[in-house]
Structure formats: C-alpha cells, structure tokens
Amino acid sequence: MRAAVCLHYSVGAMTAREDRVARNEATSREINERIEDAHEATSPDQYIRMVCECGQESCDRLIAITTSEYERVRSDPQRFAVVRDHVIVDVERVVDETDRFVVVAKREGGPAEVAAEEDPRS
C-alpha cells in the first residue's frame, strides 16, 4: 500500500536502527516463549534462564526470571525483560526492576508498533 509507505516516511517514526532493534527484540521474545513452554511443569516461583530482550545483535546475556514474572512482562506486548546495562534509553523506559533484570516499555512511535505487530501471541 503506497499511501501507508508515504505516511510512514513523512512521519519519520522509525530509524533503521530502531527498526533493527525492534525486530531483534521480537526474535528474542520468540526464543523466550519457547523456553517458557519448555518449563511448563516448572514451579512459577522457580528461576529459569531466558535471553535478554534488549534487541542488540551482539547480546548473549541471560536473565534469571520466574515464569510468573515473565507472564507479567508479557501481559503487555510493549514490555521487555532486559539486563540492567542493556536499557536503550532513547527508545525505551524502565517500568519495573528487580536485582536480576529490569522491565522496559517501548516509547510511543514506531518500535511499539513493530512490537505489537510481531507479538507471537496475537
């Protein structure tokens, strides 16, 4: 749809970097969905290892998180669990934190739209 494409560029909501970050985040979230599925029988209060959802291509950090904590993050498609030093302050803000990870929410605009669009549960 040409009109939508023109609108996208005139608004300039999203840089190539933001777009790449958003897509990497969507990929890490798919990985975590599978990890969670694999731990279905695990107690909701037991720590499991999930990948950091920061969206940086070089990131290979893991976070300790319980399935109940992860469910809380995932109840909002714009929220991601990341290690503390991987918060990208210009595209996301911290909404919750523990001593193991922080929860970030996408700022309004392009990245939030991609996050919703690529939500594996939608």
Binding site for Zn ion (CB under 5 A): 52, 54, 59, 61, 86
Nearer residue to Zn ion within complex by CB, 13 or 100: 100
Identify the burial level of 13 via C-beta atoms within 10 angstroms of its C-beta, where 0-12 means exposed, 13-18 middle and 19 or more buried. Answer: middle
Q: Which amino acid is at 5?
A: V
Rounded Cα distance between 66 and 72, Å, is: 10
| 93 Cβ neighbours under 8 A, 6+ residues apart | 104, 105, 107
Q: How far is the CB of 19 from Zn ion (least distance, A)?
A: 18
Q: How far is the CB of 64 from Zn ion (least distance, A)?
A: 14
Chain centroid to CA 63: 13
Q: How far is the CB of 28 from Zn ion (least distance, A)?
A: 8
Nearer residue to Zn ion within complex by CB, 39 or 61: 61
Nearer residue to Zn ion within complex by CB, 13 or 61: 61
Q: How far is the CB of 60 from Zn ion (least distance, A)?
A: 8
